[in-house]
Amino acid sequence: MRRTNSDGGSGLLGSMGSGPVAPTGHHLTASHSFPSLSDTVLRQLGALMEEVKQQKEENQNSEKDIENKFTSLMLAFKTDKLTLERRLELQRRLRDQAETNMAAELNKLKAAVQLLSPLCTDSEKIELLEKVGEQVDALHKSTTRVSTSAEMYGAVQQENRLSKAVDIILRHVENLKQAYDKEKTDHDETRKIITDSKIPPNTILKLEGRGLSRVRLGSLPRRLSNTILEADLEDPTTKDL
């Protein structure tokens, strides 16, 4: 039976409308990887890769949607980090125990084959018994390779499962960077125009207080001149001039 990654609860989200909620004890003791980011949670966030490939709706999310999803993902990652060492140690013990059990069963099989050796009197049976022994040795080596391959496949599988969640995080970071760059550009442009216009410091404070540092460069000069005029008319220090 094929196992899924959704076992172990619905994670941190009850529903998209309710937002992130506090993790319960069940989530903290779950042993599988990323217990707070089950398939159910990723589906609610629109970050389940299998459904994303089918729906192709990743570009329809607004910046606010991306921010909300980013917040939920960060809460999930931080929650899972609290139990990471415990879960890692548990999985390591389970793996070692499984490998030990497999080795014990193979040793029993080898012992059973050796018990058959005295019963093989003719060359044909002896040759057949030797082939069985060789197959047992090959099986032992194969189990080691299977264990290693399973670990590698599991790691890549989790990477694929969370790749859309990582995309959401990167998109939020990119949105923040673009917003910062825009604010910085507008601020620098406004400061340059104010400096070139040789506006008095008290007027600059009035302009900044009125939010004109965010005005676009193309519309700034006219608005700036009107605001300067209004500021001068309202300033008691300019009425005496």
Q: What is the pLDDT of residues 18-47, one digit of tens each?
A: 444 334 444 444 457 778 787 788 887 877
Contact 99, 147 (CB under 8 A): yes
Distance (Å, whole) CA 35 – CA 16: 18
pTM, rounded to two decimals: 0.57
SS3 at position 1: coil
Query: In the chain, what are the domain boundaries?
Result: 85-161, 197-239
* Alpha carbons 27 and 21: distance in angstroms, whole number: 12
Of 42-46, 129-133, 164-168, 224-228, least confident by mean pLDDT is: 224-228
Average per-residue pLDDT for the chain: 74
Instruction: Determine the residue type at 109.
Output: L
3-state secondary structure of 13: strand
Identity of the residue numbered 82:
L
Residue indicated by tokens 């410091």: 201
Quickly tell me which residue has 């910046």 as its tokens: 63
Cα–chain center distance at 75: 11
pLDDT in tens, 176-227: 999 999 999 988 888 888 777 766 666 665 655 555 544 444 444 555 555 5
